[in-house]
Chain A
Amino acid sequence: MSRKHWLQAAAAVAVIVIAAVGVSQLLERMVAPAAPPQSAAAPAAPAASVPHIIATLYYGTADGQALAAVKREVPLGDGPRAQGRQILESELEAAPAPYLSLIPAGTMLLAFYITDRGDAFVDLSPEVSTMHPGGSTNELLTVYAIVNTVTANLQSVERVQILINGKQADTLAGHVDLRRPFERDTSLVREAKGTQ
């Protein structure tokens, strides 16, 4: 190979390398807006862009006599446990009009677990008991709003046990026995309509 040929070959390689780098950078620039880093996406992401599911949450009916099953959008969770947390976080928020909240304001979800046997544990902050207004009716509505909300949306859950501050509790306010897990009970549910 002559000296001229060596120079032509080297130039070609250089052009290819430069071109490859350029194309690569160009590709990165082109792809970046479509798949941005997650940190940049969070603040900018509109609700519509975050995947949601439609979940059935339970609140008090407007007349205060029963439970109402209400369809609401809840952020998609990664697996039943994460999904359960999302559903319960939504349930703890104020009820949409005209429904009534049954869980005392200020109650927080401390933990949520599901065992292999299908028992879910909903660990709530002490406000669920200390701020509870009392009465058998109020207490039954609170308990079954939580139990039905979990069991209606998570197929792997058969029974729900409510814990307060990480511990087994006797009752919320002196009536309903919290020492053992509850199964789903729709006898307190009167209507199932409404989507928000």
Chain B
Amino acid sequence: MLVVPHAQGTAPPSPLTLISRDGRRPVPTTLVNGQEFIALDDLASLFQLAVRDDALAGGVTVSYKGRTIVASADQPMASVNGRVVTLPAAMTRVGRRLFVPVDFIARAVAPIYDTPIDLRRASRLLIVGNIRVARVTTRIDAVGPPTRATIEVTPALLVSQAADAGRVLVRVEADVIDPAPPPAPAGLIDQIQTGTQTTTVAIALNARAGTPRVSTTTTTESTRVTIEVPLAAPSQDTSTAPPPPALPALPAPTGPAPPALPALSGPKLQTMVIDPGHGGDDNGVRGPKGTLEKQVALEVARKLKTLIETRLGVRVVMTRDEDRSVSPDERDAIANNSKADLFLSLHANGAPSADVKGTEVYYLRLDRAGEEARRSTAATELVLPVISGGTRPIDVIPWDLAQAAHVDASSRFASMLEEELEKRGPMGPRPLQQAPMRVLSGANMPAALVEIGYLTSADQERSIQSADVQGGLVQGIYDAIVRFRAFLESPPSQ
């Protein structure tokens, strides 16, 4: 007969939450002498473990698909498939039930289990299987006003956002979020909620708060949402940043689950993709002095991204933010998966003569297959049921011809780019062209490509690296984007 110490347990403030593909469920635990324990029979039913007394070893044997754990009755350790692991406490008995420290899950059960098990004690989550878990840290950077807050999502995942004068909702495209404890409210922020029941961070704003500006930046490690809450004031610059249209009434942040954010009638230009050409092994054009197209394209892209995010509050996704090789399909996939509203590819040009100079703008010219795809887009719309009930129309179009449905809007955008860039610097021999550009064909949104200048011209190779010239190019492109946003938001009759 196994003899283990008896103890009296108390319930912790909240149970663990087990999250798997099947959903979530609470897992009760108990505190004994400040240590958190879980009942072995609960573990056995959760993970289909077989438990039996092992008098010879002086403990219990836990087995799963031929793999075994032998847990000592009186020592804070266990043998897992023959390897000894330590535990913060030995097994204990509460009433008639055997209990093991919760760390037993991570240290003993996880190594013998089929699918990954991740115990996040701070957020009270027990994650089983390949679940997309986002660590979400919210902090207030400046009390202000303006009050500045940052939501950091690790790893980098898509986020969608909705903001009005009353609140900011940021939904993370993950299966579950693992939130760090939110900071105390300060400045124009009254409340920050990062519940584990939803993947949304809800920030309730003070009555004195104006329209918040929300922008998103993505690196390889994380996605960062920056929120700036100004005082309510009539001094908004409506020419470049008109307030978003009024949002429908949102449920109170204390409600059970915020609505699906993309369904909100927010601004038509919420996300834009900037695609710096080439990268990695692919240098693009090399100027006579050795300037590489891939470097110039990235420099200008970064400046443009900063300007758009800070002035327009539009989320900007870069297809690359470092010197790496990206295939055309990957570039389009990033844009399409980001549900971007606009795509802009940035390049520097090359010509067979060093005399050719100037900026040029391209949009896609369809071949015969593209024209057929364009005509048949409407005919191939499917109406599919969605998980949340109801239906959603889906356009069916070959992946590599996704641009076919957007060529008219792309033409408008390209014309605006040409007109605005012409005000900022010399244009090339063919300032606006339609051509079968590979990277534009798969973009399922209005798309254009700007060749900012000819690196094969020694003059332009030199000038294109100057802050003034790059600033002019960035401003011209930005002005075109502001115009295109107004076009998107204008009534369809226009």
Contact = CB atoms under 8 A, between A and B. Distances in A.
A173 B367 CA distance: 20
A176 B451 contact: no
Contact of B353 (A64, A140, A176): A64
Interface string A130-173: 00011111101100000000000000000000000000001101
A175 B282 CA distance: 12
B455 interface: yes
A41 B291 CA distance: 54
B351 A65 contact: yes
A136 B293 contact: no
Contacts of A183: 367-368
Interface in B252-285: 277-278, 282-285
Interface residues of A, number: 30
Question: Which label, helix, strand, loop or mixed, suits the secondary structure of the A interface?
Answer: loop
A135 B435 contact: no
B436 interface: yes
A100 interface: yes
Contact of A136 (B283, B349, B355, B367): B349
Contacts of B400: 179
Contacts of A65: 351, 353, 356, 429
Interface string B374-403: 000000000000000000000000001000
Given A137-B351, A179-B400, A174 B282 contact: yes
B45 to A, nearest CB: 54
A63 B429 CA distance: 11
Nearest to A176: B436
Given A65-B356, A136-B362, A177 B351 contact: no
Interface size bracket, B side: 35 or more
B369 interface: yes
A134 B350 contact: yes
Contacts of B347: 135-136, 175
Q: Which of B284, B286, B349, B435 has the most CB of A within 10 A?
A: B435
Contact of A63 (B283, B349, B355): B355
A63 B352 CA distance: 8
Contact of A102 (B293, B348, B352, B456): B352
B5 to A, nearest CB: 69
B456 A135 contact: yes
A175 B347 CA distance: 10
B277 A174 contact: yes
Q: Which of B285, B293, B355 has the most CB of A within 10 A?
A: B285
A25 to B, nearest CB: 61
B360 interface: yes
Contacts of A173: 284
B369 A138 contact: no
Contacts of B368: 183
Contact of B349 (A66, A101, A135, A177): A135
A174 B284 contact: yes
A100 B428 CA distance: 19
B441 A177 contact: yes
A64 B356 contact: yes
Interface in B59-113: none
A3 to B, nearest CB: 92
A176 B441 CA distance: 10
B413 interface: no
Contact of B454 (A101, A135, A141, A182): A135
A60 interface: yes
B250 interface: no
A100 B368 CA distance: 31
A20 interface: no
A134 B438 contact: no
Contacts of B246: none
A180 interface: yes
Contacts of A62: 353
B472 interface: no
Q: Which of B277, B327, B349, B451 has the most CB of A within 10 A?
A: B349
Nearest to A190: B429
B451 A64 contact: no
A84 to B, nearest CB: 21
A64 B435 contact: no
A136 B356 contact: no
A177 B436 contact: yes
B437 A133 contact: no
B328 interface: yes
B38 interface: no
B350 A133 contact: yes
Contact of B352 (A100, A170, A174, A175): A100
A138 B350 CA distance: 6
A151 to B, nearest CB: 14
B128 interface: no
A174 B438 contact: yes
Nearest to B437: A175
Contacts of A180: 367, 369, 436
A105 to B, nearest CB: 12
A94 to B, nearest CB: 13
Given A171-B438, A182-B367, 12 more contacts: A65-B351, A65-B429, A100-B352, A102-B352, A133-B456, A134-B293, A135-B284, A136-B349, A136-B435, A136-B451, A137-B356, A175-B438
10 smallest beta-carbon distances between A and B, as pairs:
A64-B353, A135-B350, A177-B438, A64-B352, A100-B352, A134-B285, A135-B349, A65-B429, A60-B352, A64-B351
Interface of B: 277-278, 282-286, 293, 327-328, 347-356, 360, 362, 367-369, 400, 428-429, 435-439, 441, 449, 451, 454-456
13 contacts: A60-B353, A64-B354, A65-B429, A66-B429, A133-B456, A134-B283, A135-B347, A137-B350, A170-B327, A170-B438, A177-B441, A179-B438, A183-B367
